[in-house]
Amino acid sequence: MSTDTPSAPHAPSAGLLILAGTPIGDVADAPPRLAAELAGADVVAAEDTRRLRRLTQALGVQTGGRVVSYFEGNEAARTPELVEALTGGARVLLVTDAGMPSVSDPGYRLVAAAVAHGVRVTAVPGPSAVLTALALSGLPVDRFCFEGFLPRKAGERLARLRETEQERRTLVYFEAPHRLDDTLAAMAEVFGAERRAAVCRELTKTYEEVRRGGLGELAAWAAEGVRGEITVVVEGAPAAAPGDLDPAELVRRVRVREEAGERRKEAIAAVAVAAGVPKREVFDAVVAAKNAAGKVPGDGKGLS
């Protein structure tokens, strides 16, 4: 169990780090406390100072303290400066472009450093694209996990998806619009084209859209081009009874693992464990598929 009182040798300071949620679209969704914190902070660290300026104008408030940029490119270098201000007693407010700091945005590095130096950390709760998309998706919400952005390279993306192939919880991802079709196609390949999902676009904005369907259907739709900020929600894996998967599905799962760089022997073993069937059953399915495709199968000597 941990609290804001650290076990580190640093003495607690009078400073305060505030993580403030900002609107993900509609500025009217800004937390009521946000305006007061913007006006009262000694330092406002913003992911984009120009967007901060537009936000303060929309809220009708002026920042009372110094404004500094804090984004991915300068996060490492600026963190010590902000920690110095905090340990000196400053009230530092951290805001990102949209949503809560630290959630696929700058913030974690500063929070960790503040905690290590005995600085109290609190938050102004606000809008969250993760929770909003999850609630709108129509998929189970009792258990879920957030996966953030997937890797850009195809092989790395398949490998990451493969790690969650049997995840029972609902999965939530962020994705760039120009990569959405490739990501949905990869998801359909790993999870199956019929796995239910929802693509949530431009949440709380004028052109908000929630598109629901199977991953294969959504991939075909996205191939036509999609704009805006995207959150993807994917149904978790069904609970399959041992031996419940047909041979074609076993073969598909082996193929996905092989294409992600895994050796066939390891892929067969992993699929067998996940499906709750003997390795020989998976191997035989792979051999049968090769025969059906008119290819010469291996002799099976590599299977153990």
| Digit-coded pLDDT (tens) for 237-271 | 987 655 567 888 889 888 888 887 888 988 888 88
> 247-259 and 264-275 helices cross at what angle (nearest 10)?
130
Helix, coil or strand: residue 26: coil
| Digit-coded pLDDT (tens) for 13-61 | 579 999 999 999 999 999 989 999 999 999 999 999 999 999 999 999 9
Structure tokens at 161: 């998806």
User: Among all chains, which residue has been given the structure tokens 């939530």?
Assistant: 172
> Which stretch of DSSP H or E encloses residue 145?
strand 144-149
Helix, coil or strand: residue 13: coil
What residues contact 151, with CB distance under 8 A and at least 6 apart? Answer: 157, 159, 160
Superfamily of domain 130-234: Tetrapyrrole methylase, C-terminal domain (3.30.950.10)
Band (290; pLDDT cuts 50, 70, 90) = confident
Contact 92, 85 (CB under 8 A): yes
| Digit-coded pLDDT (tens) for 147-172 | 999 999 999 999 999 899 889 999 99
Q: How crowded is residue 279: how many other Cβ atoms within 10 Å of its Cβ?
A: 16
Cα–Cα dist 87/65, whole Å: 17
Structure tokens at 171: 């999965």
Cα–Cα dist 266/273, whole Å: 11
Show me where the domains of the chain are located: 16-127, 130-234, 247-292
CA R_g for the chain:
24
Domain boundaries 16-127, CATH class: alpha beta
Looking at residue 160, its pLDDT comes to 94
